[in-house]
Amino acid sequence: MKDEFWSTHLDKKENLALELATIRVLHPTKNELNDDPLEAEIDFEKRRLERTSIKSGGIFYDATRLVSLYWRLIPKEGRRSNVCHLILTRELFGTWDRDDLRWHARAVMLGYPCLVSATGLVEAPAKPSEYYQRRNTGVDVASLKEEMGEHFIDYGDERMIEVLKGYCAQAVFYSMTRQAFCDDPGCRLFNAHWQVELIYAQIGGPYEFCEKHTRMIEKLKAGT
């Protein structure tokens, strides 16, 4: 386990900064990346690699390319399918949807390695429809958060740790079984698209895992 992934690769920061800058998503409805980044964009990525306390400020990365970048940085001897490589990050990433032709932010990207984004937990699942309706009529966002905050996860939310546990469980379970997500909205492995779904699955449900996945977990524990 490494406390800070990037700090162990600062000898490659020039190349890493360039690659991070090039995998930025430029527009939510255009399937194109930042192939010719500005020098300022590369410099910003260098500073962020050196000081991870610097927030990405809404920068959006191609999740597939980000996973590939992380994978190449894992030592060759560690690139095994029976090892769960799990990276917790504040980077916001997403995937291109061929059906509605737009980018969608993701809270988790299951693969090698698996990525879980704390920023994505806030930004990816949609807030209640009423939140957007009232915001669009000019209601102050701070007021909406104070009034409706229990219905969605926000930055600095004390529930974040518990939610992260569930998303880490999704990554570990995927690494062990190659199965992604669960159809049961009360199971921690449920792929929530709305904040209310996320809160129910990770905090408010009657159980942690559904019967099917509880049995699978018990079998895994027993080594059968």
- 139-145 long-range contacts (CB < 8 A, ≥24 apart) are none
pLDDT tens-digit profile of 160-213? 999 999 999 999 999 888 888 999 999 999 999 999 999 999 999 999 999 999
Which residues fall within 8 angstroms of residue 127, CB to CB, at 6 or more apart?
148, 151, 152, 194, 195
d(CA 30, CA 210) in angstroms, rounded, equals: 38
d(CA 1, CA 176) in angstroms, rounded, equals: 18
- pLDDT at residue 74, as a whole number: 87
d(CA 155, CA 164) in angstroms, rounded, equals: 13
The DSSP H or E segment spanning 32 is: strand 30-33
Most confident of 10-14, 80-84, 155-159: 155-159
Per-residue DSSP letters for 8-27?
Answer: GGGGGHHHHHHHHHHTBEEE
More confident residue, 51 or 61: 61
SS3 assignment, position 154: coil
Q: Is the peptide bond before 206 cis (omega within 30 degrees of 0)?
A: no
Residue 105 · residue 120 · CB < 8 Å: yes
d(CA 214, CA 188) in angstroms, rounded, equals: 11
